[in-house]
Structure 1
Amino acid sequence: MKKIFSAFLLCFSLLLQAQQEQVSSPEGSLKMELNVLEGKLMYSVAYDDVLLIDGAPLGFVTNEGDFSNDLVFVEAVKDAVSKTYEQDKIKQSQITYNANTLRYTVKDSKDRRFSVLVQVSDNDIAFRYEIDKWGETRAIVVEKELTGFSFPQETTSFLSNVMRPMTGFARTAPSYESAYTADKPIAEQTAAGGYVFPALYKVKDEYWVLLSETGVRSLYPASHLSAYQDGTFYIEYPNEKENNGFGSSGAQLGLPGITPWRTITVGKSLKPVVETTIPWDVVEPLYEPSQEYEYGKGSWSWIIWQDASMNYEDQKAYIDLAAAMDFKYILIDAWWDERIGYERMEELIDYAASKDVGVFLWYNSNGIVNDAFQTPLNKMNTSIERKKEMKWLQKAGVKGLKVDFFGGDKQETMRMYEDILSDANDYGLMIIFHGTTLPRGWERMYPNFVGSEAVVASEMLVFVEDVRKKEAYNATLHPFIRNAVASMEFGGVVLNDYLNRGNKSGQKRLTTDAFQLATGVLFQNPVQMFALTPNNLDDAPNFQLDFLKELPTTWDETRFMDGYPGKFSVLARRNGDTWYVAGVNAEAEPKKLNLDLSFLAGKTVRLINDDKNVETFTKEIKIPKNGKLNLTMQSGGGFVIVNE
Structure 2
Amino acid sequence: MNFKLIGKALVFMCLSLLFCSCNSNDSIQLSSPDNNYHFSLTTEGKLSYSVNWNGSVIIDKSALGFKLANGTFIPGDVKITKVIKNSVDKTWRPVYGEFSSYTDKYNEVLVQFKGTNLAAENIALRVRAYNEGVAFRYEFNQPEELEVLSELTEFTFPNDPFVWVSLMAQSGINKQKLSDVSIICERPLLAELSDSVFAALGEANLVDFARMKFEKDSTVSNKLRASLSIAQDKKGNKIHFVSIPGNGYFSPWRFIMAGQSPSEILQNNYLLLNLSEPNKIEDTSWIKPGKVIREVTLTTKGGIACVDFAEKHNLQYVEFDAGWYGNEYDDASDATTVTVDPNRSPGPLDLKYVINYAKEKGIDVILYVNRRALEKQLDEVLPLLKSWGVTGVKYGFVNVGPQKWTTWLHDAVRKAAEHGLMVDIHDEYRPTGYSRTYPNLMTQEGIRGDEESAPNDMVINTLFTRMIAGAGDQTNCYFSERVSAKMGSHVSQMAKTICIYSPWQFLYWYDRPVGSPTKKGGAGNTEDVIPEIPDLAFFDQVPTVWDETKIIDGYPGEFAVVARKHEDKWYLGAITGTKEMLLNVDLKFLDEGKKYKATVFSHDESLKTVTKVKIQEIEVTGQSEFEYPVLKQNGLAVIFTPVK
Give the structure-2-normalised TM-score: 0.84
| Secondary structure of the structure 2 residue equivalent to 1:211 | strand
Given the superposition, is the C-alpha separation of residues 189 and 563 from structure 1 closer, same or farther in structure 2, using an over 3 Å criterion? Answer: same
Structure 1 equivalent of residue 7 of structure 2:
none
2:116 aligns to what? Answer: 109
Structure-to-structure mapping, 1:102-501, within 5 angstroms? 102-111=109-118, 112-113=120-121, 114-133=123-142, 137-162=143-168, 176-182=169-175, 184-191=176-183, 194-218=184-208, 220-229=209-218, 230=220, 231-241=222-232, 248-276=240-268, 277-285=270-278, 287-289=280-282, 291-292=284-285, 293-302=287-296, 309-338=297-326, 341=339, 344-366=350-372, 378=373, 380-382=374-376, 385-461=377-453, 467=454, 471-498=455-482
* Residues 563-585 of structure 1: per-residue CA shift (max 9 Å, x gap): 10111111111112211111111
- Pair 1:41 & 2:47 matched: yes
Q: 1:59 aligns with which of 47, 65, 69?
A: 65
Q: 1:69 to 1:457 in 2, by over 3 A?
A: same
**Structure 2 gaps, min length 5:** 1-20, 328-337, 341-348, 515-527
Summarize the alignment of residues 6-45 of structure 1 with structure 2, pairs less than 5 Å apart.
18-38=25-45, 40-45=46-51
Instruction: Answer yes or no: is the 8 Å Cα contact 1:332–1:362 preserved in 2.
Output: yes
**Alignment correspondent of 2:94:** 87
Q: What is the identity, as a one-letter code, of the residue corresponding to 2:546? A: W
Q: Distance in 2 between matches of 1:160 and 1:74?
A: 41
Distance in 1 (CA, whole Å) between partners of 2:623 and 2:441 is: 42
Extract unaligned runs of 5+ from structure 1: 1-13, 163-175, 303-308, 367-377, 462-466, 500-506
- Report the CA distance between 1:74 and its aligned residue: 2.1
Taking the aligned partners of 1:70 and 1:139, their CA distance within structure 2 comes to 21
What amino acid is the match of 1:301?
Answer: E
> By how many angstroms is 1:408 displaced?
2.6
Q: Judge conservation of contact 2:371–2:399 (CA < 8 Å) in 1.
A: no
State the distance in 2 between where 1:271 and 1:605 align. Answer: 24
The letter for the 1-side match of 2:436 is R
Pair 541,310 (structure 1): closer, same or farther in 2 beyond 3 Å: closer
Q: Could you tell me which amino acid in structure 1 is paired with residue 164 of structure 2?
A: F
Alignment partners' CA distance in 1, 2:134 and 2:234: 32
CA contact (8 A) 1:89 1:525 kept: no
Q: State the one-letter code of the partner of 1:336.
A: W
- CA distance change for structure 1 residues 391 and 103 in 2, over 3 Å: closer, same or farther? closer
State the distance in 2 between where 1:228 and 1:153 align. 14
What's the offset of the Cα at 1:271?
A: 3.5
* Alpha carbons of structure 1 residues 624 and 290: separation in structure 2 relative to 1, 3 Å: closer
Paired residue type of 1:67:
I
Q: Please give the secondary structure, in 2, of the residue aligned with 1:546.
A: helix
- Identity in percent: 22
Match of 1:170 in 2: none
Corresponding pairs, count:
574
Residue 595 of structure 1: how far off its partner (Å): 1.4
1:224 Cα deviation after fit: 1.0
Shift of 1:86: 1.0
CA drift at 1:628? 3.7
The answer to whether 1:548 aligns with 2:539 is yes
1:568 aligned partner = 559
Q: How big is the shift at 1:251?
A: 3.5
Q: What one-letter code is carried by the residue in structure 2 that aligns with 1:288?
A: I
The alignment partner of 2:136 has SS state of strand
Q: How far apart, CA to CA, are the structure 2 residues paired with 1:242 and 1:264? A: 33
| TM-aligned CA distance change 1:556 to 1:244, over 3 Å | farther
Letter in 2 for 1:610: H
How far, CA to CA, are the matches of 2:295 and 2:262 in structure 1? Answer: 36
What SS does structure 1 have at the residue aligned with 2:174?
Answer: coil
Match of 2:13 in 1: none
Structure 1 residues 101, 626: CA separation in 2 closer, same or farther (over 3 Å shift)?
Answer: same
Per-residue deviation at 1:610?
A: 1.8
Cα shift readout 1:240-291 (whole Å, capped 9, x = no counterpart): 3389979624233333321111111111123331111111112224632555
Offset, 1:389: 1.7
Q: Which residue of 1 is the match for residue 502 of structure 2?
A: 525
Question: Residue 605 of structure 1 corresponds to which residue in structure 2?
Answer: 598
Contact 2:137-2:252 within 8 A present in 1 as well = yes
- Aligned to 1:492, what secondary structure does the other structure show? coil
Describe the shift of the 1:94–1:624 C-alpha distance in structure 2 as closer, same or farther (beyond 3 A): closer
CA RMSD, aligned part only?
2.5
* Separation of aligned partners in 2, 1:76 and 1:535: 62
For 2:632, the equivalent position in structure 1 comes to 635
Instruction: Quote the offset at 1:150 in angstroms.
Output: 0.5
